[in-house]
Amino acid sequence: MNDMNGQTAFGLASDVSSLMEKRRRNGLVWHIVFIFSTTLAVLFLILLVFSIIDSVFGYAVLINDVEPSALVAGKESVTDFNRAELENVARTRLSAGILRRVEYDKPIAERSDKDLVSLVEEYVVKPKVLKTWGFWGSLTERKAIETYIGENEGSYATFRSWLTPSFIMADQSADPLRAGIRTALLGSLWIILITFVFAFPIGVGAAIYLQEYAVDNRLNRMLQLNIFNLSAVPSIIYGLLGLAVFVRFMEPVTSGSFIMGTVDNTANGRTILSGGMTLGLLVLPIIIINTQEALKAVPDTLRMSAYGVGATKWQTIWYQVLPVSVDRILTGTILALSRALGETAPLVVIGASTFISVDPSGIFSKFTTLPIQIYQWSARPQGAYRNIAAAAIVSLLILLLLMNSTAIYTRDKITKKKRLEA
Amino acid sequence: MKIAIEHPFGKKMRIHERLIEATLFGFALLSIVITLGIAIILIRESYLFFSDPEVELWGFLTGKEWQPMIGRFGFLPLLNATLTTSVIAMALGIPVGLFVAVYLSEYASDKTRGILKPVLEVLAGIPTIVYGYFALTFMTPLLRSIFGMETVQIYNTASAGLVIGILVLPMIATMAEDAIGAVPKELRLAAYALGGTKMETTFKVVIPAALSGLSATFLLALSRAIGETMIVALAAGAGPNLTFSPFEAAETITGYIVRISGGDVSYNSVDYNSIFALGLILFLITFTLNMISRKISRMFHQEYE
């Protein structure tokens, strides 16, 4: 090597060092790109959460049909009215038809103050949402809100949380101020129950067959491949399957008319049973795959020792393999069920997307679910529906969180118990 | 003289054991029944659709107008919108997902991984309807403020596509990380020994070695994007529209199925049958993609074993 010319085995020393510099810089640039991409992924999650939370709280500009001060002089809000004023307003200002219905349900004199306040607000004051702002907008656009109130005579702004206990307890309504998710929540829970009852035994059974009994032959390989394929079929296809099979073909069964004669004819087979079974088909491959994973984790020595003391195959599975893997099987099932809980498209396709304000009373009732409710509210262009959609989303996410943490909690508990027994 | 020996330890015919095995086998067979059910129903209703005098197969495959009201059944506008949203989704999801995977498996410390993996799991666990809401209330206003209110319509395929990209991102990242993680350590060490930098090793050795697993991942993600429903139903717009502009409203195959079945559609009408014909096409596309993906990933599993 001749140092005078800077000659090295790889060329001129200056070339080499500039090349090394370039490679180093390239490496740095790509390192930054990788970190940037990862930050982006985290940012998406933050934005997603933020955009939802943002819509749940904020200013709403309302306008009243009749001002409370016009009902009782000097009182700005219905909640300030005393008992006599409330009863008086309710008796005098309600239209004759409504008054008769209200008195028939429960006489005004016997109603609670809170009940009367909501009665007066609903039928007399009739507040209407003109425009809403998100949390961020409420902080930064004070001027715009004030101008807006100035432009609309008689309007006023209140800072409100759209997610309230009454939002969860109220039934569906066309008025975003009174609408709630009770019907949808109950519908979701019913659907999940049916899905579980339908898919859990079949899924676990199929997984036990594939993992414990199946020999490696063509048929069993095909079964396995088919289950993987099913798990990747778009959920909307399951909706079409449910529509044709459960809603149309099996209508007498799914509408309940085969045991009870004619029941609720308006359901037309679009019942909780149909919805639950459709989602059951959807999560079946997931439950099978998850259960198989759980069974795979059971060491073979356990099976061998069971055979060694003379247990039959089923005795081995029932008394040895299943007790050891039950925690993982349950976790996998709950994960699959939380997928079903958030699923919207198949239920819309089987025709669950109608206005329903009656609580489901059994498996043959019509239903709506939380995701469908969110879909319907989000699809409306008016501002306030977006807010209640966001509030419903938060409720759905909390429900999912509860389910998943229950799964983790029970798993840990069972694992601990097993360890103590061992 | 022969003595018959009753062997006490011989294999007994235990009827209930057989019965249990048969039942479990029946449960496993049910998965085949589901697949057959899907195939039979889609084909049967599609047959009814195509046997309608108003519909002809050629016009269905090449027609540029989808207006069932006036008897125009060309499904190109729907297919075009589906492809637009999916391509946009892949354009965002594949690079970002791949880079996240590379970062997680090659660069990140165990502690960072411990934080990032749950973030991806949370993203993956959020229902798609929530992403649809996000597209409508965040992505669309964002695009409109960047590109102008006139260019970007309230409902557009760009917004839906980008959010589908975010939806498939955690799936791509997780599966791609598995594929990259399956590359033997010796390959990396050999590349370092030859003087490769970390970046060169990643791009010239690790990614090419994991290519089959990565392509399987991308195909599966594409299949997921094509079948995605609620995001496009909320954000991409209602009404078929043959356009190549991502800022215009255009209805996808899944969006159409949801809109029609969400309304009051009477059985045996052309509308009712048409959603099954479109469902069949959707099923064929996604099924093919899944099969190819499985084939490729099996190849890759054999490679290093």
| Residue among A37, A205, A236 whose CB faces B254 most closely | A236
If one compares A15 and B289, the residue with the highest pLDDT of the two is B289
Task: Return phi, psi of residue A350, to 5°.
Answer: -75, 0
Residue B182 lies in a domain: yes
Query: Given a cut of 70, is residue A2 above it in pLDDT?
Result: no
Residue A60's DSSP bridge partners are: A132, A158
Nearest CA in chain A to B293: A229
Say which CATH number the domain at B286 has: 1.10.3720.10
Residue A103 lies in a domain: yes
Q: Name the percent of chain A lying above pLDDT 90.
A: 41
Q: Do B283 and A27 make contact, defined as CB atoms within 8 angstroms?
A: no
Domain shared by A144 and A204, yes or no: no
Residue from A211, A344, A408 whose CB has the most chain B CBs within 10 Å, to mutate: A344
Of A315, A317, A285, A312, the residue nearest A298 (C-alpha): A317
On the 0-12 / 13-18 / 19+ scale of CB atoms within 10 A, A127 is buried
Query: What distance in Å separates the CA atoms of residue A270 and residue A360, rounded to the nearest whole number?
Result: 12
| Residue among A27, A40, A288 whose CB faces B198 most closely | A27
Q: Do A47 and B99 make contact, defined as CB atoms within 8 angstroms?
A: no
What domain range includes position B260?
66-303
| Stretch B223-243: mean pLDDT | 91
Residues of chain B with C-beta less than 8 angstroms from the C-beta of A227: 31
Neighbouring CB atoms inside 10 A of A95's CB total 10
Residue A132's DSSP bridge partners are: A60
Residue A28 lies in a domain: yes
Residue B15 lies in a domain: no
| Stretch B12-31: mean pLDDT | 88
Residue B239 lies in a domain: yes
Query: Given a cut of 90, is residue B223 above it in pLDDT?
Result: yes
Query: Given a cut of 60, is residue A174 above it in pLDDT?
Result: yes
Q: Do B31 and A230 make contact, defined as CB atoms within 8 angstroms?
A: yes
Domain shared by A258 and A294, yes or no: yes
| pLDDT score of B304 | 62
pLDDT, mean over chain B: 88
Query: Given a cut of 50, is residue A420 above it in pLDDT?
Result: yes
| Residue among B32, B173, B203 whose CB faces A226 most closely | B32
Domain shared by A313 and A228, yes or no: yes
| Residue among A40, A55, A281 whose CB faces B137 most closely | A55
| Total tally of structural domains belonging to chain B | 1
Helix (H) or strand (E) holding B67: strand B66-67
Helix (H) or strand (E) holding A131: strand A128-132
| pLDDT score of A1 | 44
Query: What distance in Å separates the CA atoms of residue A28 and residue A38, rounded to the nearest whole number?
Result: 15
| pLDDT score of A305 | 93
Q: Would you say the C-alpha torsion A260, A266, A272, A275 has a positive or negative sign? A: positive
Residue B27 lies in a domain: no
- Cα–Cα distances (Å) from B212 to A157, A237, A391, B216, B288, in that order, read 59, 28, 43, 6, 17
**Neighbour-count burial for A196-217, b at 16+ CB within 10 Å, e otherwise:** bebbbebbbbbbbbbbbbbeee
Nearest CA in chain A to B284: A233
Half-sphere exposure of B41 (CA within 13 A, CB side): 23
| Residue among B30, B129, B282 whose CB faces A202 most closely | B30
Distance from CA of A361 to the nearest CA of B (A): 23
Nearest CA in chain B to A33: B99
The listed range with the strongest mean pLDDT (A380-384, B12-16, B235-239) is: B235-239
Q: Do A209 and B254 make contact, defined as CB atoms within 8 angstroms?
A: no
Q: Do B107 and A31 make contact, defined as CB atoms within 8 angstroms?
A: yes
DSSP symbol at A271 = B
| Single-letter code of the amino acid located at B206 | V
Per the structure block, which two tokens stand in for A334?
């709950």
The answer to whether A240 contacts chain B (CB < 8 Å) is: yes
| pLDDT score of A375 | 92
Domain shared by A208 and A255, yes or no: yes
| Stretch A207-213: mean pLDDT | 94
pLDDT digits (tens, 9 = 90+) for B147-161: 988 888 889 999 999
| pLDDT score of A263 | 54
If one compares B276 and A415, the residue with the highest pLDDT of the two is B276
Do the strands A57-63 and A128-132 form a parallel or antiparallel pair, or are they unpaired? Answer: antiparallel
| Residue among B120, B223, B229 whose CB faces A236 most closely | B229
Query: Given a cut of 70, is residue B286 above it in pLDDT?
Result: yes
Residues of chain B with C-beta less than 8 angstroms from the C-beta of A390: 133, 137
Residue B26 lies in a domain: no
Residue B189 CA to its chain's centroid (Å):
35
| pLDDT score of A252 | 79
Nearest CA in chain A to B122: A45
DSSP percent split of chain B into helix, strand, coil, nearest 5: 75, 0, 25
Task: Return phi, psi of residue B245, to 5°.
Answer: -85, 125
Residue from A220, A237, A281 whose CB has the most chain B CBs within 10 Å, to mutate: A237
Least trusted range by pLDDT, from A253-267, B40-54, B100-114, B263-277? A253-267
| Stretch B256-272: mean pLDDT | 82
Q: Do A45 and B294 make contact, defined as CB atoms within 8 angstroms?
A: no
Domain shared by A149 and A243, yes or no: no
Residue from A45, A136, A378 whose CB has the most chain B CBs within 10 Å, to mutate: A378
Chain B contacts in chain A segment 70-89 (CB below 8 A)? none
Nearest CA in chain B to A32: B103
Domain shared by A130 and A192, yes or no: no
| Residue among A40, A349, A353 whose CB faces B96 most closely | A40
If one compares A224 and A74, the residue with the highest pLDDT of the two is A224
Neighbouring CB atoms inside 10 A of B180's CB total 21
Task: Return phi, psi of residue A262, to 5°.
Answer: -80, 130
Distance from CA of B1 to the nearest CA of A (A): 33
| pLDDT score of A394 | 95
Residue from A39, A53, A215, A236 whose CB has the most chain B CBs within 10 Å, to mutate: A236
Neighbouring CB atoms inside 10 A of A304's CB total 10
Query: What distance in Å separates the CA atoms of residue B279 and residue B38, rounded to the nearest whole number?
Result: 10
pLDDT digits (tens, 9 = 90+) for A127-140: 888 888 888 888 88
Neighbouring CB atoms inside 10 A of A98's CB total 15
- Cα–Cα distances (Å) from A143 to A56, A59, A146, A155, B29, in that order, read 21, 13, 5, 15, 66
Per the structure block, which two tokens stand in for B207?
């990614």
Distance from CA of A342 to the nearest CA of B (A): 5
Domain shared by A62 and A33, yes or no: no
Of A294, A217, A224, A278, the residue nearest A246 (C-alpha): A278
On the 0-12 / 13-18 / 19+ scale of CB atoms within 10 A, A269 is buried
Radius of gyration of chain B (CA): 25
Q: Do A233 and B14 make contact, defined as CB atoms within 8 angstroms?
A: no
Neighbouring CB atoms inside 10 A of A376's CB total 20
Q: Do B129 and A342 make contact, defined as CB atoms within 8 angstroms?
A: yes
Of B185, B182, B176, the residue nearest B214 (C-alpha): B176
Domain shared by A355 and A273, yes or no: yes
Q: Name the percent of chain B lying above pLDDT 70.
A: 93
| Single-letter code of the amino acid located at A283 | V
pLDDT digits (tens, 9 = 90+) for A187-202: 999 999 999 999 999 9
What domain range includes position A79?
58-160
Residue B15 CA to its chain's centroid (Å):
44
Domain shared by A67 and A26, yes or no: no
Beta carbons within 8 Å of A184's beta carbon, 6+ residues apart = A172, A368, A369, A370, A372, A373, A392
On the 0-12 / 13-18 / 19+ scale of CB atoms within 10 A, B263 is exposed
Per the CB < 8 A criterion, the answer to whether B146 and A72 are in contact is no
Least trusted range by pLDDT, from A15-19, A353-357, B65-69, B113-117? A353-357
| Residue among A284, A386, A396 whose CB faces B127 most closely | A396
Chain B contacts in chain A segment 293-312 (CB below 8 A)? 312
pLDDT digits (tens, 9 = 90+) for A321-332: 999 899 889 989
Least trusted range by pLDDT, from A59-63, A224-228, B218-222? A59-63
Domain shared by A267 and A324, yes or no: yes
Residue B280 lies in a domain: yes
| Residue among A36, A47, A312 whose CB faces B14 most closely | A312
Distance from CA of B260 to the nearest CA of A (A): 8
The answer to whether A343 contacts chain B (CB < 8 Å) is: yes
Residue B33 lies in a domain: no
Query: What distance in Å separates the CA atoms of residue B224 and residue B107, rounded to the nearest whole number?
Result: 28
Query: What distance in Å separates the CA atoms of residue A307 and residue A309, rounded to the nearest whole number?
Result: 5
Domain shared by A186 and A252, yes or no: yes
Distance from CA of B302 to the nearest CA of A (A): 17
Neighbouring CB atoms inside 10 A of A278's CB total 30
Domain shared by A150 and A91, yes or no: yes
Neighbouring CB atoms inside 10 A of A258's CB total 11
Neighbouring CB atoms inside 10 A of B1's CB total 2
| Total tally of structural domains belonging to chain A | 3
